[in-house]
Amino acid sequence: MQTSKFEIKEITTEQTIAVRHPVLRAGRPREDCYFPGDDLSTTVHFGVFVKNKLAGIATFLEQNNLNFDGEHMQLRGMAVLDQFKGKGYGKQLLKAGEQLAYQKQKQYLWCNARIVAKSFYENQGFKTFGDSFEIPLVGTHFVMYKETTNIPDSC
């Protein structure tokens, strides 16, 4: 997806680290930024570029959640650099992932959302499943999900 303001394209695992580290794992070792499944052939990493600068990232894995029936895709490690927040880039990354899940005929897109991102996902049509839980050294999260069977091709 490309507009005059930004471009979303597939990137490598290594490219995600440039955004994951300062946003999701600040002050922690760079090695903490590599997630299980990052290098699977079915995993897709998207980056949003603004004037050719990587501004945000999102990773989409073919990973089922045992709480739901059917086939699912998991969103992991979505992050936007501070200077690019509030401009809609996260929403665009999420739309790209929704389209990917729809094309792969996955019934749900789900994620473990940080408490500070819960309202963002709710505003994008995600629902919360269950109670909050803690991810050690990261914080409070909620399982959130969205049905992808009705996502239009043009998103």
Give the H or E element holding residue 153. Answer: none
Query: Could you read off the pLDDT of 117-149 as tens digits, one per residue?
Result: 999 999 999 999 989 888 887 888 999 999 987
- pLDDT tens digit string along 62-89? 988 888 888 999 999 999 999 999 999 9
In a domain? residue 2: no
Structural domain that includes position 76: 7-147
**Is 154 a domain residue?**
no
Rounded to the nearest 10°, the torsion over CA 7, 100, 95, 121 is -130
In this structure, is residue 83 part of a structural domain?
A: yes
> Is residue 11 situated within a structural domain?
yes
pTM: 0.89
Q: How many domains does the chain have?
A: 1
Looking at the domain assignment, is residue 153 inside a domain? no
In-domain check, residue 110: yes
**CATH number reported for the structural domain that contains residue 58 in this entry:** 3.40.630.30
